[in-house]
Amino acid sequence: MKFTTENSPATTTRFPGLRQWFPISLILLLAATLYFYQLGTESLWIDEIYSVRDVKTGKGLPPHNLIRPLYYILLRVWSNFGSSDTWLRSLAVIFGLGSVFLTYLIARRLLGKPEGLIAALLLTLSPLFINHAQEVRMYSLSTFVGLAGTLVITYALERPNNFWIGWWASLRFLAIMTVPLNATLLIPDLVLVGLKFRQQRRVLFAFGKWLLLICILWAPCVLLKLVYWTTEFTTGDSIKITKPTPSPLELVRILRIFTTGPFRIEPNTAFAWLYKVFALILITLSSIALIRQHRSSKVLWVAAWGLIPLAQIFLVSHLWFSLWLERYLLFTSPYLLMLVAAGFMVIWRQGRIVAIIVALVYILAVGKGLVRYYTVLDRADYRGIVQTIKMDEQVGDIVVWAIDGWIGTVPLVHYKHGSAEIVVEPRVPFKKKIDEQNIENWIRQLPPTESRLWLVCKLTSTNHQAFINLLQEEFAIQKHEKFTDGKGVYPYHVLLVVPNPG
């Protein structure tokens, strides 16, 4: 008896299963390439260094941190196996890749397989998401756990038993314990549950029971944090950071940021017009998906998870204090990209020429964002600052750390500056009008030494030259290096100086 490939049961059952995962596997391979590319090129920025510090000191772990401890717990375990910038950042990469896969699963389940692949590709190519998937921060984990909870509730809405509802509640609680803003996902969850099961009290009670458990577990954490905030404000020890209140235009702009990145666009240029057209295309695609209710009303589920949390954060930002930051909103981005994917497929099925034009505009806009992300330094170069000192440090050297006070000396500690004594000083006086007397007083108050001083200063275009001139009256400059702040300028100066003779 002869056996052919066509007659083999293994090939008829196994290979079709493999083929259906081949497209998303290619997208995940692309995502892995982009997310690991240049992972350790830039220095950790200050929030990343704080993450590492909070794990080492225990400040980010329970019981000191009960508001968002999950990422720090995982980072604590992860850091036991390595301490390089690349290794520490790779934890976020894993959750970034997981987010791409979950985006595909949710969109495929609710909208269709082509929509799932397109949504996963859009998230893969998003410079904003790549940025946060390459950080020692919790935002890719927040997106991942939020998506996992959303995937589970799609099953719970069809099979409302304790298994699925319990998993939904567990994942939503974990998402909240990663970033508390994930609590805004509970509102669209409850809206969908209420609409679907409004005539089934038993099911509503089951969801309500698990929701109550989330509230009971989370309430002590919130109360302790409120007590802490109250203590800070009444003692006057808090540092108030004011963020701009979002305008209604930000609700439109955020979709462009989710796809091409948050970088500034020069006005009245060809690319400025390209991005205006691109933003209009994104809004049009999302609107088409909602108006046509592609495939089924389940596109409204996707819209609920994307738009209702944004509306809540927008409202809070106007009524109390602003939370409208791209990284805080990142967990909503996959749902908006699913809407874009659904709208694109509607256009594709009606007229492929228009769809191809839309795709070309997308490639141009996102391509520029990706090129900028991988070629422009966006983080302050603390690693370069510390390594400059480490390479030439000698016994008896003193490091004078005189940059923004809120940063502290954590970059020196993280990058292990060496054994030199550290003296923290305020910034070199800076005003719009040069005040040479105050700058001179600052120089005269430097630690007395016969040895060498490393001055790490943050200077401006106003006080830079005056500071150098006055410094040379007292010291000889043996080395002078400049470092970026990640905003296109180089305000950080490292100067190795020795006292002038006599």
Residue 176's Cβ-count burial label (10 Å; 0-12, 13-18, 19+) is buried
79 residue type, one letter? S
Three-state secondary structure call for residue 175: helix
* Extents of the domains making up the chain: 14-375, 382-499
Count other C-beta atoms under 10 Å from residue 431's C-beta. Answer: 10
For the segment 271-295, the average pLDDT, to the nearest whole number, is: 79
Instruction: Give the H/E segment covering residue 477.
Output: strand 475-483
CB 468 within 8 A of CB 485: no
Question: What pLDDT is attached to residue 238?
Answer: 41
Cα 142 to Cα 129, 205, 324: the distances in Å are 12, 28, 16
Q: At what angle do helices 333-350 and 352-375 cross, to 10 degrees?
A: 150
Lowest mean pLDDT among 75-79, 103-107, 318-322, 366-370: 318-322
Cβ-Cβ contacts under 8 Å for 475 (sequence gap 6 or more): 443, 453, 497, 498, 499, 500
SS3 per residue for 326-338:
HHHHHHHHHHHHH
What's this model's pTM, rounded to 2 decimal places?
0.90
Residue 352 has pLDDT above 50, yes or no: yes
What percent of the chain has a predicted confidence (pLDDT) above 70?
A: 92
Identify which of 99, 105, 38, 48 has the alpha carbon closest to the alpha carbon of residue 75: 48
pLDDT at 3: 41
What pLDDT is attached to residue 16? Answer: 60
Report pLDDT for 241: 52
> What's the whole-number mean pLDDT along residues 263-292?
80
Give the residue-averaged pLDDT of 119-138. 97
Tokens 């409120």, residue located? 226
Q: What is the mean pLDDT of the chain?
A: 89
Is the predicted pLDDT of residue 294 greater than 80, yes or no? no
Q: Parallel, antiparallel, or unpaired: how do β-strands 492-499 and 475-483 relate?
A: antiparallel
Strand partners, 482: 493
Could you tell me the strand order of the sheet in which 398-402 lies? 421-424, 398-402, 453-458, 492-499, 475-483
Residue 204, pLDDT score: 96
3-state secondary structure of 320: coil
Check pLDDT > 70 for residue 255.
yes
Q: Which residue has the higher pLDDT, 15 or 65?
A: 65
Whether the predicted pLDDT of 295 surpasses 60: no
Q: What is the pLDDT of residue 237?
A: 39
pLDDT at 8 over 50: no
Q: Does 253 or 230 have the greater pLDDT score?
A: 253
Nearest to 173, CA basis, from 205, 218, 212: 218
Q: For residue 230, list its beta bridge partners.
A: none
H-only helix segments in 393-479: 410-414, 436-444, 464-474
What is the C-alpha separation between 458 and 401, in angstroms, rounded?
A: 9
Q: Which residues of 276-408 form beta strands (DSSP E)?
A: 398-402
Q: How far apart are CA 351 and CA 450, in angstroms?
A: 78
Question: What is the average pLDDT across 52-61?
Answer: 94
pLDDT band at 229 (very low <50, low <70, confident <90, very high): low
Q: Angle, to 10 degrees, between the axis of helix 333-350 and the axis of helix 270-292?
A: 80
CB 476 within 8 A of CB 498: yes
pLDDT value of residue 203: 95
Burial class (CB in 10 A: 0-12, 13-18, 19+), 429: middle
- 7: confidence class by pLDDT, cuts 50, 70, 90: very low
Statement: residue 2 has pLDDT above 60: no
Give the CA dihedral 67, 68, 72, 74, nearest 10 degrees: 120
Residue 234 has a pLDDT of 38
Residue 5 above 50 pLDDT?
Answer: no
Nearest-angstrom CA–CA distance, 81 and 378? 28
| Tally of residues, the chain | 502
- Burial class for 4, CB neighbours closer than 10 Å (0-12, 13-18, 19+): exposed
Per-residue pLDDT for 9 more than 90? no
Which structure tokens are listed for 187? 């509102």
